[in-house]
């Protein structure tokens, strides 16, 4: 015959494994989020592509994996595609939403459901020491006086409808979108402080794969241009 005391002890014993199970599950979720957050902060991050400025390489709605270590062992080179922090250049320093709005938007951007409004993806056309100009007699951009072949350009687009003539100083990059007629890039900042030149320390990393949509899943080919 079971006494009331025995029943109470049995109930406590049943509750204890359940509590331990929930605690273990919560700790597992926390550990997974921590590891994932560290991986995205230091190794590979995920970004949402909101526009067609890098078509045909990247399409609106693409989710891309970006290697944060791609340039750890080498400098950014001409022809590379980079994701960079555009605050102070292409993006305003303040969003106007307030810190709560920014926090909510930041979570959405981290989850990949909304674009990161301060991160941009463009192609490196000029690196330190390059004299980049538009355009040669045949309409192509020139690098140090030599016309640049750009097989990655959006079909039908001109290399640029905006004339420019810049020499890239140390620590800066000249960046353009592949879809030139639909891209906000270094040309958009001509006449502004910095003259459209983006600091190399603003580079976050290099896109290495398309993760979504599934019909575009796979590694990326950047189709670097050549002279």
Query: What's the predicted TM-score (pTM) here?
Result: 0.78
Q: Which residues contact 58 (CB under 8 A, 6 or more apart)?
A: 49, 64, 121, 207, 210
For 5-37, how does the pLDDT look when each residue is reduced to its tens digit (9 = 90+)?
445 555 555 556 665 666 666 555 544 444 445
Which residue, chain included where needed, has tokens 């950047």? 222
Structural domain spans, the chain:
1-42, 45-219
Tell me if the bond preceding 213 is cis, omega within 30° of 0: yes
> Tens digit of pLDDT for each residue in 99-134?
455 555 555 555 655 566 789 999 999 999 999 999
Write the DSSP string, 53-72: TTTTTS-TT-EEEEETTTTS
pLDDT of res. 117: 75
Domain 45-219 in CATH: superfamily? Umud Fragment, subunit A (2.10.109.10)
What residues contact residue 179 under an 8 Å CB cut-off, 6+ apart?
A: 52, 53, 54, 55, 56, 154, 157
């Amino acid at each position: 015959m079971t006494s009331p005391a025995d029943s109470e002890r049995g109930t406590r014993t049943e509750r204890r494994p359940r509590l331990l199970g929930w605690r273990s599950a919560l700790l597992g979720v926390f550990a997974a989020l921590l590891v994932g957050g560290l991986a995205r902060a230091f190794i590979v991050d995920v970004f949402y592509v909101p526009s067609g400025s890098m078509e045909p390489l990247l399409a609106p709605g693409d989710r891309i994996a970006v290697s944060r270590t791609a340039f750890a062992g080498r400098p950014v080179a001409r022809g590379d595609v980079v994701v960079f922090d555009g605050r102070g250049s292409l993006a305003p320093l303040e969003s106007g939403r307030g810190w709560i709005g920014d926090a909510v938007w930041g979570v959405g951007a981290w989850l990949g459901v909304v674009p990161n409004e301060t991160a941009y993806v463009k192609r490196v056309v000029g690196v330190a020491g390059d004299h980049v100009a538009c355009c040669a007699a045949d309409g192509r951009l020139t690098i140090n006086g030599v016309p640049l072949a750009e097989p990655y350009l959006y079909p039908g687009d001109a290399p640029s409808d905006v004339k420019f003539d810049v020499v890239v100083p140390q620590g800066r990059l000249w960046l353009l979108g592949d879809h030139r007629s639909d891209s906000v890039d270094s040309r958009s900042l001509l006449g502004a402080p910095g003259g459209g030149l983006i600091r190399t320390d603003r580079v976050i990393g290099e896109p290495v794969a398309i993760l979504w949509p599934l019909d575009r899943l796979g590694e990326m080919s950047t189709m670097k241009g050549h002279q």
